[in-house]
Amino acid sequence: MNNTYYTVEQVATLLSLHPKTVQRYIREGKLRASKIGKGWRIAGHDLSVFAENIQPNGGNAMNGDTSANVTVSAVADIDVAARDDAIRIMNALTAALNSKPPDCGRSSLHTQFIEAQSKVRVTLWGGARFTAVMMDAIAALTDKETE
């Protein structure tokens, strides 16, 4: 299989954008990319998909997501029995964040283990769909805790 990969600078030149704009699209999840070393590489297929979805005003039409104007923030405190449970929960949530589809848009997750209180604090920020999925993941992880 012969895949073509582009650097941020090459994509910026092809799309007549500034490299910082391309990096922002990657950070926001609008353009799929893989981190190789210190730089990003964009597969030719992902570049084609992105280019087809660019709107004339510079926006990005990702699958008609109507919740793009909704931003949700949430904080969840999860009681844990031991440090290993906290690490398992934080790793699972980080994996869920890293595997989110690009149409979820910009989002962030911050996890913190508060050892003195035996709890994990999770801070979420993003679209309504992203936040709902992450809250479902928290519910699933904590349901296993109580069984």
d(Cα 72, Cα 134) in Å, to the nearest integer? 12
Percent of the chain with pLDDT over 90: 38
- Interval 98-109: pLDDT, tens: 887 766 777 889
pLDDT tens figures, 109-118:
999 999 999 9
Global pTM reads 0.52
The stretch 43-55 carries a mean pLDDT of 81
Check whether 36 has a pLDDT greater than 90: no
Residue 44's nearest CA partner among 56, 32, 53, 36 is 32
pLDDT digits (tens, 9 = 90+) for 86-100: 999 999 998 888 887
Helix, strand, coil % over all residues of the chain, rounded to 5: 50, 25, 25
